[in-house]
Amino acid sequence: MSESIILNFIVGMFIGSMFGIMIMALLSGRRYNNMSQEIQDLRTQRLLLKDELLKRQSKPRPRKYRQKND
């Protein structure tokens, strides 16, 4: 009787731990996808801001002055 209780306890722990690991993997996978998407959004935003800064650094063309007719 005692051996069957111990055996059932061990089998229950084994099954419970497997379900726990699977649930943790599903939750962490979803979190990983969210973080990966956030990183991609931040990289895109950084690239757009970098392009905007580089465009503003170029010097404007000098004006062409009219020559005086004497």
Burial of 48 per CB tally in 10 Å (0-12, 13-18, 19+): exposed
Predicted structure pTM score = 0.48
| Segment 35-68, tens digit of pLDDT | 999 999 999 999 999 988 877 666 778 888 877 7
Cα-Cα end-to-end distance for the chain: 122
| Segment 2-43, tens digit of pLDDT | 889 999 999 999 999 999 999 999 888 888 888 999 999 999
